[in-house]
């Protein structure tokens, strides 16, 4: 990866609220990531929310997050989205436990 492409990357941290555990959220999100050029992770949190971080070119991150929201539109009640520093240290998108 070049320094130029690295500078075009963004990273978003998202916490999803609602009925987001026990509905294959992590597995489906992992599958959705395969259609986008994003790296990062998704994991369940103890409070019943789901945490996700996605990194990549802005259009790819936006497309990925939009597909997650469309897929789970009936499960997501709210989402806290925060832009954070790009790390560049992940090559793919994974489920964390």
Active-site annotation, residues: 26, 44
Given the structure tokens 């954070």, which residue do they identify? 84
Q: Report whether 72 contacts 25 (CB < 8 A).
A: yes
- Strand duo 93-95 + 39-44: pairing: parallel
Q: Report whether 73 contacts 18 (CB < 8 A).
A: no
Task: Report helix angle 58-71 to 25-33, nearest 10.
Answer: 140
Q: Report whether 59 contacts 82 (CB < 8 A).
A: no
């Amino acid at each position: 990866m070049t320094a130029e492409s690295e500078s075009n990357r963004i990273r978003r941290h998202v916490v999803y609220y609602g009925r987001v555990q026990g509905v294959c959220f992590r597995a489906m999100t992992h599958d959705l990531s395969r259609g986008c050029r994003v790296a990062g992770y998704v994991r369940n949190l103890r409070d019943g929310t789901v945490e996700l971080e996605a990194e990549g070119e802005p259009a790819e991150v936006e497309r990925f997050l939009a597909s997650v929201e469309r897929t789970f539109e009936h499960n997501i009640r709210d989402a806290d989205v925060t832009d954070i520093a790009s790390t560049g240290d992940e090559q793919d998108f994974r489920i964390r436990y």
